[in-house]
Structure 1
Amino acid sequence: MKRILSRYVIVSTLMVFTTSLFAQNQSFENAFDTLSIDGQFEHLYRRSNTFEEYKVISISGYNLLKKNSQDSILQYKQDADSHLQEIATLKSNLTSSNTEIEKLQAELTSSQQAKDSMSFIGIEVSKGAYNAIMWGIIICLASVSVVLFSLFNRGHRVVKETKNRLAEVQEDLETLRKNALVREQKLARELMDFKLKNKSSR
């Protein structure tokens, strides 16, 4: 009878422990889903037990926080790569726009030099008609130049904003990496100290 009772107590204890561990893991997952990395660190700290001047943290909570931190760092890296690709595309577009502007400027110069000539495509025309045709070409080229220059300015502004965003992302990524490393090292030291203290107390 005592053996049966003892087995029942052991099984009940294991069931309660397993249920408690599952509930704690589920609690961490539910809380971490709505928190930032800093918030997750703070939540894990608050939920950890205190032993003298040390904090005893949950291994499952630590592993979940580590995974979330690595996922965030990976996301920042992917965003940075995406911004770099955008910058490369904008640089290519700017180069193409500059080439087109230089070409139009050369055509405009050639048109202005031809104004003094009264021959148009090998045909003699009146000065009024000649001037009207030339001015029409010049106005069209000037309009295209203004449009391309506007596109160039907009592209330059986009490149500048993208560089600023990339610098902010890189700065945030570096800060997050440093903070995560420091906290991970601190937690590892605290865990090691706790284990050593338990060994020495035995």
Structure 2
Amino acid sequence: MKKILSLFIAVLLIGLSGKAQLTNDTSKTDPSLRGQYQLMLSKSKTLNGYKLVNPSRLSTFWQNVRDTIVTSHKQLAQVRKKLNEQEKEIQTLKKNISGTESSLASTNARLNEITFLGIAFTKSNYNIVVWGLIIALGIALAIVILRSSKHIHESKYRSNLYEEISQEYQSYKVKANEKEKKLARELQDERNKLEELKGRS
């Protein structure tokens, strides 16, 4: 009976002091989900070896988890969109390079002097111009590929972050469910003892 009364009083006190504790939470130094989780545990009271978590603080933490997941999904969609755009750019550049290489092959078969737009070029000068274009396109292609790999890396990082958050939440959910069942069993035991005492008297 004393345990039940002390548990009820502790829950009531935590509920009444929820607003004051939430204002203190805004001064936390680690804004990450892990930091918020650690802060929530550190701010919870311990009663008979069990943590009593403020429902409003738990709701705030859950909202932050949902916001983080939504933000991660949005960022992942943006990264995918950029990757698709860059893939199209790569295909266009490949077509341009292939067109330039075919024109170079055809010009190599011609005579030493090549006329272009009424201007005569020697074969060596013409080759220098064409190779300059190919090198410039190759550099542009390399830049696009490097940027694409960066976005792919970012996408993998976001996916791993989402998986980590999901696993942490599932683990937390399982632990909370186990604690709730244990508390329910203890409460039922206490009720049974109380019924036995009433039956004896």
- After TM superposition, is the score higher than 0.5? yes
**1:96–1:77: structure 2 CA closer, same or farther, 3 Å change rule?**
same
Aligned to 1:26: 23
The reply on whether 1:167 has 2:156 as its aligned counterpart is: yes
**1:183–1:134: structure 2 CA closer, same or farther, 3 Å change rule?**
same
> Equivalent of 1:93, from 80, 85, 89?
89
- Native 8 Å contact 1:101 1:145 kept in 2: yes
Equivalent residue letter for 2:165: L
> What TM-score, normalized by structure 1, do the two folds share?
0.76
Aligned to 1:201: 190
Equivalent residue letter for 2:186: K
> What TM-score, normalized by structure 2, do the two folds share?
0.76
How far does residue 72 in structure 1 lie from its aligned partner after superposition? 0.9
> Equivalent of 1:53, from 41, 44, 49?
49
State the superposition RMSD in angstroms: 2.7
**1:157–1:164: structure 2 CA closer, same or farther, 3 Å change rule?**
same
Question: CA–CA distance in 2 between the matches of 1:33 and 1:77?
Answer: 26
Aligned to 2:137: 148
Task: List runs of 5+ in structure 1 lacking aligned partners.
Answer: 1-15, 124-128
**1:68–1:198: structure 2 CA closer, same or farther, 3 Å change rule?**
same
Question: CA–CA distance in 1 between the matches of 2:56 and 2:48?
Answer: 22
Aligned to 1:13: none
Task: List runs of 5+ in structure 2 lacking aligned partners.
Answer: 1-12, 192-201
Question: CA–CA distance in 2 between the matches of 1:199 and 1:62?
Answer: 26
**1:180–1:19: structure 2 CA closer, same or farther, 3 Å change rule?**
closer
Identity of aligned residues (%): 12
Aligned to 1:44: 40
Aligned to 2:77: 81
Q: Which moved more, 1:181-190 or 1:169-178?
A: 181-190
- Aligned-partner SS, 1:184: helix
How far does residue 119 in structure 1 lie from its aligned partner after superposition? 8.3
Question: CA–CA distance in 1 between the matches of 2:38 and 2:56?
Answer: 15
CA-to-aligned-CA distance 1:25-82 (integer Å, 9 cap, x gap): 3333x14685211111111111111122211111111111111111111111212111
| Aligned length in residues | 178
How far does residue 120 in structure 1 lie from its aligned partner after superposition? 5.0
Equivalent residue letter for 1:170: S
**1:62–1:196: structure 2 CA closer, same or farther, 3 Å change rule?**
farther
CA-to-aligned-CA distance 1:139-181 (integer Å, 9 cap, x gap): 2211111100111112112222221221122112111111122
Equivalent residue letter for 1:84: R
**1:177–1:154: structure 2 CA closer, same or farther, 3 Å change rule?**
same
Which runs of at least 4 in structure 1 moved beyond 6 Å after TM superposition? 16-19
**1:108–1:50: structure 2 CA closer, same or farther, 3 Å change rule?**
same
- Native 8 Å contact 2:72 2:162 kept in 1: yes
Aligned to 2:110: 114
